[in-house]
């Protein structure tokens, strides 16, 4: 049986995951990115792998659930192949409930999660904070804790995935010809190019700002409150973020908006107030017009495919994105759900 040549352009988390999935199925894969692997939006700080609430179920939520449930095996395999840590841990997420109505909704979602999450994770309502001194106070005295949320450090996960890809025989380059089947996972640049080709906007870049703090909470759950993600990393630091800006002057600089996020984080987790800020980060994240990943064949361009639009959930979606794209590219099996297709954005 002939070996399929696959060239993946773009070595962010989607590109690397597609390349790795194709390589594991026996393809000859080249991964090309002029900036190297794990840069751009995939080289950010936060690393929150958090599910949608268990209600009003749809294709996007089901796809995300399946991907989050795949993550442990996915990152274990990468760590074994690369010999490097990914920073992945299914550490859970703690959220305060600010009103009686939210407490009521949380109890309803506890019941729904049993069915929708297939008994593989829990959505619990707690009447006390299981980690005193960490996380927010609750106006109602109730919190939600879910066991599906996970964390990872993008700065650890990207190099681990690139190293695993190379260890299994994949090739990483800064330039490459369009050889064999081509997958375009080129983030913002790809969205701009497609918008020109199709004469209307199919996606854009949304700026995010985040920070890394020197505080060791590695064994504690992530926290989400007041729109702020607080993510303890495996290396003993904590990521805080992020903003979501459609309009901006400079995509790569931080400003007062990040300082406001940090102040909210200090109010949520007072233990962070004395932690040094080790890094401030700003960058653009690729957002398709549907807000869901854009996956599938490039229309009227035989042998070319698109995997783009990871936006804020790229790391969480990556294991499943790699598999469905390998299904399509190598086996001509279309397992991409409605709402994720390229044509949904056209």
Question: End-to-end CA distance of the chain, in Å?
Answer: 36
Q: Is 50 within 8 Å of 68 (Cβ atoms)?
A: no
Q: Is 155 within 8 Å of 85 (Cβ atoms)?
A: no
The backbone torsions φ and ψ at residue 142, rounded to the nearest 5 degrees and listed phi first, read: -130, 150
CA distance 263 to 272: 10
Q: Is 62 within 8 Å of 54 (Cβ atoms)?
A: no
CA distance 31 to 175: 9
| pLDDT confidence of residue 346 | 82
* Nearest C-alpha neighbor of 144 from the set 160, 122, 126: 126
- C-beta atoms surrounding 119 within 10 Å: 8
Per-residue pLDDT at 153 exceeds 80: yes
Q: Tell me the mean pLDDT in the region 238-251.
A: 94
Tens of pLDDT, residues 267-285 = 999 999 999 999 999 999 9
Q: Under DSSP, is residue 4 helix (H, G, I), strand (E, B) or coil?
A: coil
- Paired tokens of 136: 């927010």
| pLDDT confidence of residue 345 | 81
Which residues make Cβ contacts (< 8 Å) with residue 276, sequence separation at least 6?
A: 213, 214
Query: Which residues lie across from 322 on neighbouring strands?
Result: none
Cis peptide before 242 (omega within 30 of 0): yes
CA distance 213 to 232: 9
CA distance 126 to 114: 16
| pLDDT confidence of residue 115 | 95
Q: CA dihedral defined by 60, 62, 63, 66, rounded to 10 degrees?
A: 160
Tens of pLDDT, residues 44-64 = 999 999 999 999 999 889 999
Per-residue pLDDT at 71 exceeds 70: yes
| pLDDT confidence of residue 135 | 84
Segment among 74-78, 94-98, 198-202 with least mean pLDDT: 198-202
Average pLDDT over the chain, rounded to whole? 95
| pLDDT confidence of residue 253 | 97
- How remote is the C-alpha of 110 from its chain's centroid? 24
Q: What pLDDT band is residue 34 in, cutting at 50, 70 and 90?
A: very high
CA distance 82 to 42: 18
| DSSP secondary structure letter of residue 89 | B
Q: Is 131 within 8 Å of 221 (Cβ atoms)?
A: yes
Tens of pLDDT, residues 282-340 = 999 999 999 999 999 999 999 999 999 999 999 999 999 999 999 999 999 999 999 99
The model's pTM: 0.95
Q: Tell me the mean pLDDT in the region 257-271.
A: 96
Structural domains of the chain, with CATH: 5-91+150-200+289-345 (3.50.50.60)
Tens of pLDDT, residues 101-129 = 999 999 999 999 999 999 999 999 999 99
């Amino acid at each position: 049986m002939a070996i399929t040549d696959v060239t993946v352009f773009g070595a962010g988390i989607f590109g690397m995951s597609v390349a790795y999935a194709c390589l594991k199925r026996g393809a000859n894969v080249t991964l090309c990115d002029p900036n190297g692997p794990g840069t751009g939006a995939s080289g950010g700080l936060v690393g929150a792998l958090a599910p949608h609430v268990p209600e009003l179920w749809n294709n996007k939520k089901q796809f995300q659930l399946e991907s989050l449930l795949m993550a442990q095996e996915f990152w274990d395999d990468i760590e074994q192949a690369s010999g490097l840590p990914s920073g992945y841990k299914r550490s859970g997420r703690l959220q305060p409930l600010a009103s009686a109505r939210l407490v009521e909704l949380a109890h309803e979602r506890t019941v729904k999660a049993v069915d929708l999450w297939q008994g593989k994770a829990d959505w619990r309502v707690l009447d006390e904070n299981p980690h005193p001194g960490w996380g927010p106070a609750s106006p109602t005295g109730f919190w939600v804790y879910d066991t599906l949320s996970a964390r990872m450090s993008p700065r650890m996960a990207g190099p681990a995935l690139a190293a695993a890809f190379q260890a299994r025989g994949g090739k990483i380059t800064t330039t490459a010809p369009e050889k064999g089947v081509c997958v375009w996972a080129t983030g913002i640049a790809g969205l701009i190019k497609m918008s020109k080709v199709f004469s209307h906007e199919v996606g854009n870049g949304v700026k995010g700002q985040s920070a890394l703090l020197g505080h060791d909470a590695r064994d504690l759950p992530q926290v989400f409150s007041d729109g702020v993600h607080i993510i303890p990393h495996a290396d003993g630091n904590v990521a805080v973020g992020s903003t979501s800006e459609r309009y901006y002057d400079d995509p790569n600089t931080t400003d007062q908006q990040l300082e406001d996020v940090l102040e909210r984080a200090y109010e949520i987790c007072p233990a962070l107030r004395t932690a040094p800020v080790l890094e401030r980060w700003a960058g653009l994240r690729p957002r398709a017009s549907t807000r869901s990943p854009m996956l599938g064949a490039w229309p009227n361009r035989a042998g070319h495919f698109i995997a783009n639009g990871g936006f804020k959930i790229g790391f969480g979606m990556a294991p499943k994105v790699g598999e469905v794209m390998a299904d399509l590219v190598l086996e001509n099996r279309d397992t991409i759900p409605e709402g994720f297709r390229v044509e949904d954005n056209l």
